[in-house]
């Protein structure tokens, strides 16, 4: 095991022994997307993006290249399925984990690591419904939090905590426009409903990467999703231990044996 990872896990265990974080006693058995939510989902996605784009921030970025993005969106809709799935990993425009690691080695690659706010701990010192994260390696909460672990162990990435879909949409498009000679490569956690709803928008902008499916108290209905986008999220989502290791392996291949 990588020495830095071993030390982190040891301090996390010590912090948990003294004062563990509130968490799920067991993972609830929840379908990723309900039948009602799945109905007309592409239309719901479009309406959500248009109706809830406060200040027109996302569409202001789209209007920088309106023809390109319109054609990209049409191609994405025509293609149908926005991703290829392998377990908790949703691949957008990239052919698996090996290809992701290969892209990371290229100088022109601009890596982005994003985490949905809903799997911040209840005790998070920065609060939950915001884009803040102190990831302090000496703070007992950060030591036990997977976001804190990833933020401290994974170097040289643009890190985002994601309160809303419009927030990350604007951030990704701005980053793309500010770095025209580089290629964004993302790894972002989200509920399955979000990964399904907004894949076409990422493909519209030719954004490539991996969506990591959350487990736990996920949003699997439009009602739950709408409340979550307003910060009403009493439940806790999680990245399972196996998927945590898989995510870390993307950026730290020497940490785990590759499979």
Q: What's the rounded Cα separation, in Å, for the pair 244 and 237?
A: 13
pLDDT value of residue 257: 53
Q: What's the rounded Cα separation, in Å, for the pair 199 and 84?
A: 11
pLDDT tens-digit profile of 44-71?
999 999 999 999 999 999 999 999 999 9
Give this prediction's pTM: 0.94
pLDDT of residue 211 exceeding 80: yes
pLDDT tens-digit profile of 84-94?
999 999 999 99
pLDDT value of residue 256: 58
Residue 238, classed as helix, strand or coil, is strand
Contacts (Cβ under 8 Å, ≥6 apart) of 223? none
Q: For residue 242, what pLDDT band results from cuts at 50, 70 and 90? A: very high
What ranges do the domains of the chain cover?
3-18+50-251
In the structure encoding, which two tokens stand for residue 150, read together? 């990833």
Q: For residue 137, what pLDDT band results from cuts at 50, 70 and 90? A: very high
Q: How far is CA 190 from CA 70, 78, 130, in A?
A: 25, 24, 15
Are the C-beta atoms of residues 19 and 140 closer than 8 Å to each other? yes
């Amino acid at each position: 095991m990588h020495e830095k990872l071993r030390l982190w896990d040891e301090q996390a265990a010590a912090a948990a022994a003294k004062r563990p974080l509130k968490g799920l006693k067991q993972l609830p058995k929840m379908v990723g997307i309900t039948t009602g939510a799945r109905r007309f989902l592409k239309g719901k996605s479009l309406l959500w993006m248009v109706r809830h784009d406060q200040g027109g921030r996302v569409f202001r970025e789209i209007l920088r290249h309106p023809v390109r993005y319109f054609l990209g969106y049409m191609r994405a809709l025509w293609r149908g399925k926005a991703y290829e799935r392998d377990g908790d990993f949703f691949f957008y425009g990239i052919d698996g984990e090996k290809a992701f690691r290969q892209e990371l080695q290229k100088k022109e690659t601009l890596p982005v690591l994003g985490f949905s706010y809903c799997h911040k701990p209840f005790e998070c010192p920065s609060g939950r419904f915001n884009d803040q994260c102190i990831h302090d390696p000496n703070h007992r909460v950060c030591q036990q939090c997977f976001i804190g672990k990833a933020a401290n162990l994974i170097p040289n990435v643009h890190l985002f905590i994601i309160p809303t879909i419009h927030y990350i949409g604007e951030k990704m498009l701005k980053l793309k426009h500010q770095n025209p000679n580089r290629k964004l490569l993302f790894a972002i956690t989200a509920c399955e409903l979000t990964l399904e709803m907004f894949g076409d928008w990422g493909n519209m902008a030719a954004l490539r990467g991996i969506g990591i499916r959350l487990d736990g108290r996920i949003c699997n209905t439009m009602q739950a999703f709408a409340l979550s986008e307003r910060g009403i999220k009493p439940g806790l989502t999680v990245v399972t231990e196996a998927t945590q290791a898989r995510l870390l392996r993307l950026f730290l291949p020497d940490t785990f044996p590759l499979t």
